[in-house]
């Protein structure tokens, strides 16, 4: 199916573990984005990518790593998870002016 998907949808992990959240889009959009959503903060941009092999930091990049070897995939890695990274993570693709969001991944760090 065309669209944007995220996996896993739910994840429980422990402090210090590495976690990778996957994002896949079938539209061949150049731009992809990662956000986190926390109560009281709305959505905040973590990283974005303008094209394959081009990434840049957003508002809250610390503790996260991204890569974009293929246009359709934009994985987000928490290298050493912390409790403060418990959140709902959204991936989006599109143009800067129009973004289409994935269904989100709920991450709990114990």
34: Cα separation from own chain's centroid = 3
User: Can you tell me whether residue 82 is helix, strand or coil?
Assistant: coil
Residue 64 CB, nearest approach to another protein (Å): 15
Residues in contact with another protein by CB under 8 A are 31, 33, 35, 40-45, 48, 50, 56, 58-59, 88, 90, 92, 96-101, 103-104
User: Which of these, 73, 47, 70, lies nearest to 60 by C-alpha position?
Assistant: 47
What minimum distance in Å lies between the beta carbon of 6 and another protein?
11
What whole-number distance in Å separates Cα of residue 86 and Cα of residue 99?
Answer: 24
Question: Among residues 14 and 56, whose Cβ is nearest to another protein?
Answer: 56
> What minimum distance in Å lies between the beta carbon of 76 and another protein?
16
Is 75 in contact with 55 (CB distance < 8 Å)? no
Q: Which is nearer to another protein, 12 or 50 (by Cβ)?
A: 50
Place of tokens 């129009």: 98
Q: Which is nearer to another protein, 30 or 73 (CB)?
A: 30
């Amino acid at each position: 199916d065309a669209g944007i998907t995220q996996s896993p949808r739910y994840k429980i992990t422990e402090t210090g573990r590495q976690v990778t959240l996957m994002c896949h889009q079938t539209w061949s959009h150049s731009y992809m984005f990662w956000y986190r959503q926390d109560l009281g903060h709305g959505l905040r941009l973590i990283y974005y990518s303008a094209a394959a092999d081009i990434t840049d930091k957003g508002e809250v990049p610390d503790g996260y790593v991204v890569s974009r070897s293929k246009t359709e995939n934009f994985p987000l890695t928490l290298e050493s998870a912390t409790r403060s990274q418990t959140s709902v993570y959204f991936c989006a693709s599109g143009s800067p002016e129009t973004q289409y969001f994935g269904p989100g991944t709920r991450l709990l760090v114990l």
